[in-house]
Homo-oligomer: A and B are copies of this chain.
């Protein structure tokens, strides 16, 4: 069930006032990121599925209504309205797994003002988290240059819901598997995992631990760095000799120390023992920079387990994401607060491509027809999800992969692209903005 109270108090007080004033004409709100973090050349849109589910199922229960009433702040009119609330609006959105840039709407809600206002907090909460996570994960996947990346981050993700949704977003962005059983169950993501140091430590002898674990899970990955990494590898080799044809261990895992040097030495030890088919899995505080650095050193690592840094988007744990009123009662709306640029009205984004590679985005009014591929499409009408609005996760993942290959190569690098990807504003949208600004300035005293 959707937590109807997971919202800011002011959404309800504003709705209360809108109802009292009869402000229920059609409004359009845009959800977008104002500016990208320094080390993001693009964002990967994600979280639309949860946004649509919320809009379809948001209801206020008798218990929630009673509690709201007990606050003594709200009118009977609001409480009655909430009791019968269901969302009736339209939504236009960029498909999950599409790269987007600053100022570009990820989704737009068109509904009577109170309805469109009410849903602000939760829509941001969900789309923000998954877009943040998918954008970070895409960098790690890019850095791994085709090697599988496994999500190990659930323990330090921010709570239960992040534990689920970040795993989903990372999978959309190209992460191959997750250690998280709940995310695997919920979303059908492949699940992966090895063993922890505690398992080795609980045994009095490391080789005995390996032997016991392999007896139970013959095709596992053995964690070799509990005491001394290379000594651990030698014990794996010893176990291979001991078991002969019954040795089916798939990989060894290095989780600490100088992974570049250790992986080379590990590869040499394994190869010398005829264990060329045993792969090397690396983990331990990895992020996209460390993965890139390891591969730049030709580290013979076959797959990466990435945890905290990807799970919390450590270098940029939040996006400057907003949900802003851009149109009410047929008129474009703006605010003029310094440093917070806004463009009025509903929009479309046209992605212009040359030879299959994106060359420029054009932010336009929603009814313009311009060259390029329009990114926003209608996904909900009158509160109902449209057919095709929710592709399966495998399709989203495929879509993300395709869209990412259509970005200019320098954008997919880890460093800030110079110049950044160009996002232009169409003449019609610029003119609309000037018009609204002029109208608003008329009200203000001359400076």
Asked if A199 is at the interface (CB within 8 A of a chain B CB), the reply is yes
Given contacts A197-B324, A227-B444, 10 further A-B contacts (CB under 8 A): A6-B154, A6-B182, A8-B179, A9-B184, A67-B185, A71-B191, A73-B217, A125-B156, A156-B321, A227-B443
Question: What is the minimal beta-carbon distance from A203 to any residue of chain B, in angstroms?
Answer: 8
- Range of interface residues on A (Cβ < 8 Å): 35 or more
CA distance A182 to B60 in the complex (A): 12
* Min CB gap A324→B, angstroms: 7
User: Which residues on B sit within 8 Å (CB–CB) of A206?
Assistant: 443
Counted per complex, copies of this chain come to 2
Report the bound CA distance from A182 to B125 in whole Å.
Answer: 13
Name the contact of A202 in the complex, choosing from B8, B18, B195 (C-beta under 8 A): B18
Is A336 an interface residue when CB atoms closer than 8 A count as contact?
A: yes
- The verdict on A192 contacting chain B, using a C-beta distance below 8 Å, is yes
Using A198-B117, A206-B443 as known contacts, say yes or no to A337 and B256 having CB atoms under 8 A apart: yes
Cβ of A314 within 8 Å of any chain B Cβ, yes or no, is yes
Question: Is A357 interfacial (CB-CB < 8 Å)?
Answer: no
Chain B residues in 8 Å Cβ range of A161: 158-163
**In the assembly, what is the distance between CA of A208 and CA of B434, in Å?**
23
The answer to whether the Cβ of A121 comes within 8 Å of any Cβ in the partner chain is yes
Q: Which B residues are in CB contact (< 8 Å) with A180? A: 6-9
Q: How far is the CA of A108 from the CA of B198 in the complex (A)?
A: 15
**Chain B residues with CB under 8 A of A334:** 201
Closest B residue, CB atoms, query A23: B202
In the assembled complex, the Cα of A6 lies from the Cα of B159 at a distance in Å of 10
